[in-house]
Copies of this chain bind each other. A is one copy, B any other.
Amino acid sequence: MADSAGGQARGAQAAPLRIGIAGLGTVGAGLVKLLRGNETIVAARAGRPIAITAVAARDRTRDRGVDLSGVTWHDDAVALATDPDVDVVVELIGGAEGVARRLVTTALEAGRPVVTANKALIAVHGAELAALAERTGVPLMFEAAVAGGIPAIKTVREGLAADRLTRVGGILNGTCNYIMTAMRESGRPFADVLAEAQALGYAEADPSTDVDGIDAAHKLAILAGLAFGRPVAFASVHVEGIRGIDALDLDFARALGYRIKLLGLARRREDGVEARVHPCLVPEKSPIAQVDGVFNAVVVEGAFVGRLMLEGRGAGEGPTATAVAADLIDIARGSAVPVWGRSADGLTQIEALPRAAFHEEYYLRLNVHDRPGVIADVTAVLRDHGVSLRSMLQHGRAEPAPEDGTAGGDPSVPLVLVTHRTRESAMLEALGRIAALSVVIGTPAMIRIDPG
């Protein structure tokens, strides 16, 4: 009802902004539904209608639940960039290279504004694309590339533009958060829960981009670049996924008052910038520990604004389409924020600090032989490397081999240690020495602890 106001009449009369959509997967189809379903709202907010004049996708026959009659169909996505009936190119193909990169580059070179949801492309080639967009004087927008429906880009680049940001990050991959939440709640192992997530459509058939942390790292690199004013070299981001998290770790974390989340963390330090993605123990009472299932959360800290947390759906047809459409409305209104929030003129990439420079508290889980002196051996190594202990946990005793001589019995027990803050270089050396001890079986697990 509120939308029947007079304001939109003017918007509806102006010449439409004509868009071409490359890629008609979930997000592309969602964008068509959003622009059609909210046509009046969008026209009022944009000051003119937004019309879909062209699309590009491989399969013309697949039913996407949207009517594309009257829309020009390009089999070659790159042709959208020079279609005379397209004012703005929407790139929803994905991938840092190949067609997506050629399409975006061609469109920017031709002076066409681009809206993309492609986190890999921006994370890897964002610096050169920004220079290109600035040279031809057109916007390159990518709100949908990070955290779906959460306006994280707009918040960091515009809402907090005046502050000196010191930290940005959060829960940036819904698939991993879903898996870790389900593992915690059900006690089931990673492989089981991953298979279930795949069946439910929360994880891809090839899950590695998600579960190995690469997707989160793309998003983190973009957020860090915006927060600190210079794109971060993607190859310098330290990335660990969640495959190594054992159900045991979730239990121990709970016993210690923590939850485990895959976090992206970027921090400004005196000597450089940290940018990394890895599982973290976070205090169970911290706001970020409450963000469960497929939800994402973005945390930003600045000297003046303090701490801000944004929580919402990080993926899916509706949320991602909302982000793409918001960029289109900004373009229709004539907004012109530079790609990295400041002039690309002379803007060089920053290398993130190496992991040896990290400085954290650490959770260690070892499998040790259940015999006297083990704890003394392990703690002596830590002492020799200047690592001081905060707490220690040992659950259960080893199961003795059955007296009847049959196989069975586990000679090892888990030993969990929590350290005070220490340099990761020292921690890694100590861990190498500990793994080599004869009382330690297999590879120790190490998870960093974050205050959340």
Q: How many residues of A contact B (CB 8 A)?
A: 83
Asked if A416 is at the interface of the complex by the 8 Å CB criterion, the answer is no
Asked if A193 is at the interface of the complex by the 8 Å CB criterion, the answer is no
Asked if A124 is at the interface of the complex by the 8 Å CB criterion, the answer is no
Kindly identify which residue among B161, B268, B328, B345 contacts A10, using a CB–CB cutoff of 8 Å: B345
Residues of B within 8 A of A310 (CB): 308-311
CA A268 – CA B340 in complex, angstroms? 36
Residues of B within 8 A of A273 (CB): 1-2
Whether B290 and A44, one on each chain, are in contact in the complex, defined by CB atoms closer than 8 angstroms, is no
CA A15 – CA B357 in complex, angstroms? 41
Name the interface residues of A319-371: CB closer than 8 Å to any CB of B: 319, 321-323, 325-326, 328-330, 333-338, 340-348, 350
Name the interface residues of A118-176: CB closer than 8 Å to any CB of B: 143, 149-151, 154-155, 158-164
Residues of B within 8 A of A228 (CB): 2-3
Q: Which of A8, A34, A229, A338 gathers the greatest number of chain B CB atoms within 10 Å?
A: A229
Whether B6 and A348, one on each chain, are in contact in the complex, defined by CB atoms closer than 8 angstroms, is yes
Whether A2 and B350, one on each chain, are in contact in the complex, defined by CB atoms closer than 8 angstroms, is yes
> Which chain B residue has the least Cβ–Cβ distance from A343?
B7
Asked if A113 is at the interface of the complex by the 8 Å CB criterion, the answer is no
Residues of B within 8 A of A343 (CB): 7-8, 10-11, 44, 47
Whether A155 and B158, one on each chain, are in contact in the complex, defined by CB atoms closer than 8 angstroms, is no
- Each complex incorporates copies of this chain amounting to 2
Kindly identify which residue among B5, B34, B35, B162 contacts A347, using a CB–CB cutoff of 8 Å: B5
Residues of B within 8 A of A150 (CB): 308
> Which chain B residue has the least Cβ–Cβ distance from A8?
B342
Q: Are A11 and B155 also in contact (CB < 8 A) when A306-B149, A309-B312, A326-B160 are?
A: no
CB distance from A323 to the nearest CB of B (A): 8
CA A310 – CA B147 in complex, angstroms? 13
Asked if A452 is at the interface of the complex by the 8 Å CB criterion, the answer is no
Asked if A74 is at the interface of the complex by the 8 Å CB criterion, the answer is no
CB distance from A157 to the nearest CB of B (A): 8
Asked if A433 is at the interface of the complex by the 8 Å CB criterion, the answer is no
Whether B42 and A162, one on each chain, are in contact in the complex, defined by CB atoms closer than 8 angstroms, is yes
Whether B326 and A337, one on each chain, are in contact in the complex, defined by CB atoms closer than 8 angstroms, is no
Asked if A421 is at the interface of the complex by the 8 Å CB criterion, the answer is no
Q: Are A309 and B306 also in contact (CB < 8 A) when A7-B344, A11-B342, A333-B337 are?
A: no
CA A238 – CA B49 in complex, angstroms? 36
Whether B8 and A41, one on each chain, are in contact in the complex, defined by CB atoms closer than 8 angstroms, is no
Whether A347 and B6, one on each chain, are in contact in the complex, defined by CB atoms closer than 8 angstroms, is yes
Q: Which of A38, A46, A308, A338 gathers the greatest number of chain B CB atoms within 10 Å?
A: A308
CB distance from A47 to the nearest CB of B (A): 7
> Which chain B residue has the least Cβ–Cβ distance from A290?
B290
Asked if A420 is at the interface of the complex by the 8 Å CB criterion, the answer is no
Asked if A66 is at the interface of the complex by the 8 Å CB criterion, the answer is no
Asked if A303 is at the interface of the complex by the 8 Å CB criterion, the answer is yes
Whether A326 and B154, one on each chain, are in contact in the complex, defined by CB atoms closer than 8 angstroms, is no
> Which chain B residue has the least Cβ–Cβ distance from A334?
B336
Asked if A18 is at the interface of the complex by the 8 Å CB criterion, the answer is no
Whether B333 and A7, one on each chain, are in contact in the complex, defined by CB atoms closer than 8 angstroms, is no
CA A21 – CA B1 in complex, angstroms? 39
Residues of B within 8 A of A344 (CB): 7
The 11 sampled A-B contact pairs (Cβ below 8 Å) are A1-B271, A2-B350, A5-B230, A6-B346, A10-B343, A37-B303, A159-B326, A162-B326, A163-B325, A290-B290, A308-B312
Known: A5-B348, A7-B347, A10-B345. 11 other contacts (CB 8 A): A2-B273, A6-B345, A37-B303, A46-B161, A47-B343, A149-B305, A158-B329, A161-B325, A161-B329, A309-B312, A334-B334
Report A's interface with B, CB cutoff 8 A: 1-3, 5-11, 30, 34-35, 37-38, 41-42, 44-47, 143, 149-151, 154-155, 158-164, 228-230, 268, 270-273, 287, 290, 302-313, 316, 318-319, 321-323, 325-326, 328-330, 333-338, 340-348, 350
